[in-house]
Amino acid sequence: MKVSTRWLKDMVPGLGGSPEELSEHLALRGAPVEEITIPGEALGDIVVAKVVATGSHPNADRLSLCEVDHGGDVVQVVCGAPNVKAGRYYPFAPVGSVLPGDFKIRKAKIRGEVSQGMLCSAKELSLGTDHTGIMELEGDFEPGASFVEALGLDDATLDVEVTANRGDLLSHAGVARELASEGGGRVVLPDIPGSPEPPFEYREGAPEVAEGPVSIRIEDPELCPRYIGAVLRGVTVGPSPEWLQERLRGAGARPVNNVVDATNYVMLELGQPLHAFDLDRLAGSSIVVRRPHRTEDTFTTLDDEERRLSRDMLMICDAQDPVAIAGVMGGENSEVDGETRDVLLECALFDPKSVRATRKTLGMSTDASYRFERGVDPEGLRVAVERCVSVILATAGGSLDGPVLDCRPRTFEAERVALRLSRIERLLGIPFETPYVRALLEPLGFRVEEEREGVLQVRVPGFRSYDVTREIDLIEEVARTHGYDAFPAQLRPARPGTVPDDPLFQLEDELRAALAGQGLFEAQTPAFAPPGEGDVEVANPLATTEPVMRRALLPSLLRRLEYNLARGNRDVRLFEIGTSFRRTGSGCPPEEATHLAVVLTGRRDPPHWSVDDRPLTIWDLKGLLEDVASRAYRGRARVTPADDEGTGGVLDPSHALMVVDDERSTVGRGGRVADDAVDTPLWAGDVFAFELELPERPEPQTVTTYEELPQYPAVERDLALITPDDVVVARVTRTIRQSAGSDLEALELFDVYTGEEIPEGKRSVAFRLRFRSVKGTLEDKAVDRNVDRVLERLEEELGVRARA
């Protein structure tokens, strides 16, 4: 809502303060100012000039030569406007001045004639859309006077941020009420210059009311509880006088013509949207408020757009056809234009939800619909229509014809809300007394009508009837007007909560710390994914390139790796913890799981002069995966070679691992990323990755139970084994463990070798076995017996022999 500070000060006598100070007050009332603008800010060079004489240009029919007095100096100016007249005043940009848009005025020769400056149109000054002629100024001026000051363009406009509950603040009156206590304490309506202040009479009726040939009928009182129509005859549509234009400009609106400007003026002042119909264009001089008929499926609004109507929209119609979409926009067929003589002025109340639904269906929003959606003052209609009639009569002439028609099938009943002082204290933490509560609420339009035993009966004004309906709403008003900053801020002890700290968050903390400690950086990527990377579709996606929610994190993390490689970052180690989405039954929320993904490429360690660079290998990936899986599943998940096809198309099947939990379901996969699954520069090495689903309810970290340290020495034996290629190490290890006896304390694989001395199709695998007994020092012979048994079993079961 754009608010003119001058207008505000006219409505709150005694209100002082700079725009910045007013903004501060408003911020502390809950209506912060986003921006302060001064429309005349860019027009400081412009002066008011008087055209002393005009003559025709010798070389051009459409140009005239003007003698322009811009303050003590008369210069020749070539002018192309048809409306330039001697003896009138216009805004003038002298040589050397700069117009909005950084347009500098230079001395020029136009068709051979010298031109020293420019007479300006409203559009050239960014003050309106009119470019048909130069801007004629009404009134008497001193040539050379500042244009900005002469027209009041130094008014500061405050762009007030109005929250969705405060429709009443979408008007100067509403904002003025919040500032009243900063001034004289009350809000007045400024005088309208030249207003005849006609006596107003009303004819009430429902569902129809008529006077002479004009009638109003409401067929849908739920959506339109009240419709006031005033008939004005003999108006002359034309530009508004300067005072009205100034008001509108100060509130960020552009002047159109006196009738339209009058409706906008009242809307900006009181928050009540109004609409002026050309009465001659209303068939039967009638207004019928109804839903569209079956045949009425389109309607052209006055912005020249054809709108598709639906049966649940409320329309304003004449005796035959729709002439406006109720509360949203008028129609082309009944628009006021330069020919209009008689006007029917609409001032009505429409159901907020209906207006909202209609404008949403039509995909549009107007100043009127914005206000109706948020609720306009049901008690303010007559004030608004009278004000608007006065402005039209003062600026467009004509007369009010007969009583104003007030069709009112529903009467507004003001709400009374009970407010307990005890409840205020219970919520706000400090006691409040009745007189003070009264002093806080009444300047805002509330009335404390009764007080008994600490319970106040508060009458809510119409303009607050939408957001203040409950006791808590009044308590907020008390807190707000008392001032949030005026409350103490004393920290008191609090009872501990009943909610345990979420174990998955705790596991995430643990995994993050572990991975960061191992040299990985945490990445964050949005969960939106290209087609094919998930089966949960977004109904209204932001971008058609990312219409689904991701099933897996790896694809987006690999894109981040590609991004890094493309920028020359050779060593990329990233992880991410995020949500995976998976479709369930139709219409149900998707299934979500927390995943952890890792991508790695580059060198194993930072370069150091003492060693050659070593690239990361599958073994680095496997070690990391084992560590993470063991932490996540508390040692109950195993990393094994992937034994199926499920590599997700990302992993190279020859270097693919999977993680299996103790219920034998696959909870993760990792390995070398297939060459075609990632786009890497030629210089880049292998890329490794894994993705692990984290348990939904992780178990707590296991508690260590102390194990007594050994008292007796250990005996170590190295075994170099020749194993056939088709016997995997895991199998060999298992056999050793099973056959080495209970004194085997540790088994370490320390070498794998193929090549010279090793027969084709075999490899040498070397283990170190450490034996130790808790009962006493082991004898060599006993250890030898164990080793012999191991070798026997290896040969029997696996055909594995000791290397000679």
Partner 1 sequence: MTDESPLRALARLENEALEAIDEAKSAEDLESVRVEFLGRGDGRISSILRGLGSLPAEERPVVGQKANRVKGTVSEALAARSVRLARSGDGPAVDLTLPGRTRWKGGLHPVTQTVDEIWHIFRDLGFTRARGPEADTEWYNFEALNTPLDHPAADEQDTLYLVDSVLLRSHTSPVQMRTMEKHEPPIRIIAPGWVYRRDTYDATHTPAFMQIEGLVIDEDVTFVDFKATLAEFARRYWGPDTRVRFRPSFFPFTEPSAEVDVKRVVDRADGSREETDWLEIMGAGMVDPNVIQNAGYDAEKYTGWAFGMGPGRIAMLKHGVTDLRTFFENDVRFLSQFAS
Residue from 319, 516, 752, 802 in contact with partner 1 (CB under 8 A): 516
- Verify binding: residue 436, partner 1, rule CB under 8 A: no
**Token pair for 370:** 């914005």
Binding part of the chain for partner 1, among 60-68, 409-417, 474-482, 634-642 by CB under 8 A, reads 474-482
Q: How far is the CB of 472 from partner 1 (least distance, A)?
A: 5
Give 536: exposed, middle or buried? Use CB within 10 Å, 0-12, 13-18, 19+: buried
Task: Find the binding residues for partner 1 in span 400-429 (CB under 8 A).
Answer: 426-429
Give 32: exposed, middle or buried? Use CB within 10 Å, 0-12, 13-18, 19+: middle
Q: How far is the CB of 305 from partner 1 (least distance, A)?
A: 22
Binding part of the chain for partner 1, among 35-43, 132-140, 293-301, 503-511 by CB under 8 A, reads 503-511
Using CA atoms in the order 145, 148, 150, 156, what is the torsion angle rounded to 10 degrees? Answer: -150
The DSSP secondary-structure symbol of 799 reads: -
Indicate the angle between helix axes 471-482 and 434-441, nearest 10 degrees.
90
Residue from 199, 338, 500, 776 in contact with partner 1 (CB under 8 A): 500
Residue from 109, 608, 664, 781 in contact with partner 1 (CB under 8 A): 608
> β-strand 214-218 against 286-290: which pairing, if any?
parallel
Task: Find the binding residues for partner 1 in span 534-563 (CB under 8 A).
Answer: 536-542, 549, 560, 563
Binding part of the chain for partner 1, among 133-141, 448-456, 499-507, 654-662 by CB under 8 A, reads 499-507
Give the span between the Cα atoms of 100 and 254, in whole angstroms: 17
Give the span between the Cα atoms of 632 and 518, in whole angstroms: 16
Give the span between the Cα atoms of 740 and 789, in whole angstroms: 7
Give the span between the Cα atoms of 378 and 414, in whole angstroms: 9
- Verify binding: residue 435, partner 1, rule CB under 8 A: no
Binding part of the chain for partner 1, among 71-79, 207-215, 502-510, 630-638 by CB under 8 A, reads 502-510
Residue from 501, 612, 663, 676 in contact with partner 1 (CB under 8 A): 501
| SS3 call for 257 | coil
Q: How far is the CB of 256 from partner 1 (least distance, A)?
A: 27
**Token pair for 254:** 């552009």
- Verify binding: residue 321, partner 1, rule CB under 8 A: no
Q: How far is the CB of 556 from partner 1 (least distance, A)?
A: 10
- Verify binding: residue 523, partner 1, rule CB under 8 A: yes
Residue (of 478, 388, 471, 357) closest to 429 by Cα position? 478
Residue from 295, 411, 524, 704 in contact with partner 1 (CB under 8 A): 524
Number of residues that bind partner 1 (CB under 8 A): 92
- Verify binding: residue 44, partner 1, rule CB under 8 A: no
Q: How far is the CB of 129 from partner 1 (least distance, A)?
A: 29
Residue from 16, 198, 213, 526 in contact with partner 1 (CB under 8 A): 526
Residue from 413, 609, 683, 776 in contact with partner 1 (CB under 8 A): 609
Give 640: exposed, middle or buried? Use CB within 10 Å, 0-12, 13-18, 19+: exposed
What is the residue-wise DSSP string for 455-489? EEEEEPPGGGTTT--SHHHHHHHHHHHH-GGGS--
Report which residue type is found at 613: D
**Token pair for 295:** 């045949």
User: Toward partner 1, which CB reaches closer, 574 or 740?
Assistant: 574
> β-strand 715-724 against 687-693: which pairing, if any?
unpaired
Q: How far is the CB of 272 from partner 1 (least distance, A)?
A: 18
CA atoms within 13 Å, Cβ hemisphere of 462: 15
- Verify binding: residue 505, partner 1, rule CB under 8 A: yes
Residue from 103, 484, 619, 712 in contact with partner 1 (CB under 8 A): 484
Q: Which residue is listed with tokens 């400024």?
A: 190
Binding part of the chain for partner 1, among 90-98, 137-145, 209-217, 607-615 by CB under 8 A, reads 607-615
Is omega for the bond preceding 207 within 30 degrees of 0, making it cis? Answer: yes
Give 350: exposed, middle or buried? Use CB within 10 Å, 0-12, 13-18, 19+: buried
Residue from 283, 472, 746, 752 in contact with partner 1 (CB under 8 A): 472
User: Toward partner 1, which CB reaches closer, 343 or 554?
Assistant: 554
Give the span between the Cα atoms of 121 and 129, in whole angstroms: 9
User: Toward partner 1, which CB reaches closer, 581 or 688?
Assistant: 581
Q: How far is the CB of 699 from partner 1 (least distance, A)?
A: 17
Q: What are the residues facing 290 on neighbouring strands?
A: 315
Q: How far is the CB of 482 from partner 1 (least distance, A)?
A: 10
Q: Which residue is listed with tokens 């459409």?
A: 62
Residue from 9, 50, 166, 177 in contact with partner 1 (CB under 8 A): 166
User: Toward partner 1, which CB reaches closer, 258 or 354?
Assistant: 354
Residue (of 130, 117, 131, 132) closest to 48 by Cα position? 117
Residue from 8, 345, 475, 507 in contact with partner 1 (CB under 8 A): 475
**Token pair for 551:** 């099933």
In angstroms, what CA-CA distances link 438 with 421, 446, 509? 12, 9, 52
**Token pair for 540:** 């209204």
Residue from 363, 489, 775, 780 in contact with partner 1 (CB under 8 A): 489
User: Toward partner 1, which CB reaches closer, 567 or 664?
Assistant: 567
Q: How far is the CB of 466 from partner 1 (least distance, A)?
A: 10
Task: Find the binding residues for partner 1 in span 563-602 (CB under 8 A).
Answer: 563-564, 567, 569, 571-574, 578-579, 581, 586-590, 592
Residue from 61, 109, 411, 490 in contact with partner 1 (CB under 8 A): 490
Task: Find the binding residues for partner 1 in span 23-42 (CB under 8 A).
Answer: 27-30, 32
- Verify binding: residue 480, partner 1, rule CB under 8 A: yes
Q: How far is the CB of 478 from partner 1 (least distance, A)?
A: 9
Task: Find the binding residues for partner 1 in span 350-389 (CB under 8 A).
Answer: 353, 356-357, 373-374
**Token pair for 555:** 């694809």
User: Toward partner 1, which CB reaches closer, 79 or 507?
Assistant: 507
The DSSP secondary-structure symbol of 40 reads: G
> Cβ of 195: how many Cβ atoms within 10 Å?
15
Residue (of 371, 376, 372, 464) closest to 414 by Cα position? 464
User: Toward partner 1, which CB reaches closer, 597 or 800?
Assistant: 597
Binding part of the chain for partner 1, among 334-342, 457-465, 603-611, 671-679 by CB under 8 A, reads 603-611
**Token pair for 573:** 């180690």
Residue from 123, 254, 341, 512 in contact with partner 1 (CB under 8 A): 512
Q: How far is the CB of 537 from partner 1 (least distance, A)?
A: 7
CA atoms within 13 Å, Cβ hemisphere of 652: 14
Q: Are 307 and 362 in contact (CB under 8 A)?
A: yes
User: Toward partner 1, which CB reaches closer, 463 or 528?
Assistant: 528
